Chain A
Amino acid sequence: ELQLVESGGGLVQPGGSLRLSCAASGFSVTSDYMSWVRQAPGKGLEWVSVIYSGSRTYYTDSVKGRFTISRDNSKNTLYLEMNSLRVEDTAVYYCTRVGYTEIFTADPWGQGTLVTVSS
């Protein structure tokens, strides 16, 4: 069974930093695209970052230069390093495997980890 378990969320002040982790089982984080999707309270879903094809990366405009996605094959874990956090980064952050079955799909998803940016 493919499974993802996130950790690392919490309360942080504006301008602070956090590192989210996503431990995978049942597959290798380096064999597929991996991504982070966030959901602000009461809002919809937003792709934050994707890592693919070796170490190529994508970031949504609002986090470019502040967030860094990476993966560790030895630990089979995906990371999201978040710096210079803003109040508007407050959200539940989900990691997902992005597989390709006819088209790209996000499946499975982790349970999510809440990041709260507040003074």
Chain B
Amino acid sequence: DIQMTQSPSSLSASVGDRVTISCRASQSISNFLNWYQQKPGKAPKLLIYSASTLRSGVPSRFSGGGSGTDFTLTISSLQPDDFAIYYCQQSYSTLPWTFGQGTNVDIK
């Protein structure tokens, strides 16, 4: 199975900060990488697919990059609604499509 490792596991930031989360795959996955946002007590929501394509309706302050094994999710100016846990997930291989362990973004 392909392993996905996110860093950091958690971070504290202030409203208006630029935040970057990293995700590393255990082997090359081209751009077969999705990002999800999960708020407490809620289901995850798709933010970005194909490493860098914003899902319709997602604010433009979110952006994704990378290919191969190293990927990033960047929030250009953190807003109060963005405090959540973020997961990367690969869909390159045959099943299972694995998730990273998550990155918790909370208020400094």
Binding site for A on B (CB under 8 A): 31-34, 36, 42-46, 49-50, 53, 55, 87, 89, 91-92, 95-102
A108 cross-chain contacts in B, Cβ below 8 A: 45-46
B42 cross-chain contacts in A, Cβ below 8 A: 111
Q: Main SS of chain A's interface residues?
A: strand
Considering the chains assembled together, what is the distance between the CA atoms of A58 and B91 in angstroms? 14
The 5 closest A-B pairs by CB, nearest first: A109-B43, A104-B91, A107-B46, A58-B95, A102-B50
Q: Main SS of chain B's interface residues?
A: loop
Asked if A45 contacts B44 (CB within 8 A), the reply is yes
User: Which of A44, A60, A110, A112: most chain B Cβ within 10 A?
Assistant: A44
Considering the chains assembled together, what is the distance between the CA atoms of A84 and B64 in angstroms? 41
Known: A94-B43, A109-B45, A111-B43. A103 touches B99 (CB 8 A): no
Q: List 27 A-B contacts (CB under 8 A).
A: A44-B99, A45-B36, A45-B44, A45-B87, A45-B89, A45-B99, A47-B96, A47-B97, A47-B98, A101-B49, A102-B49, A102-B50, A103-B33, A103-B49, A103-B50, A104-B97, A105-B46, A105-B49, A106-B36, A106-B44, A106-B46, A106-B89, A107-B55, A108-B45, A111-B42, A111-B43, A112-B43
B95 cross-chain contacts in A, Cβ below 8 A: 47, 50, 58
- Kindly identify which residue among B34, B49, B50, B102 contacts A44, using a CB–CB cutoff of 8 Å: B102
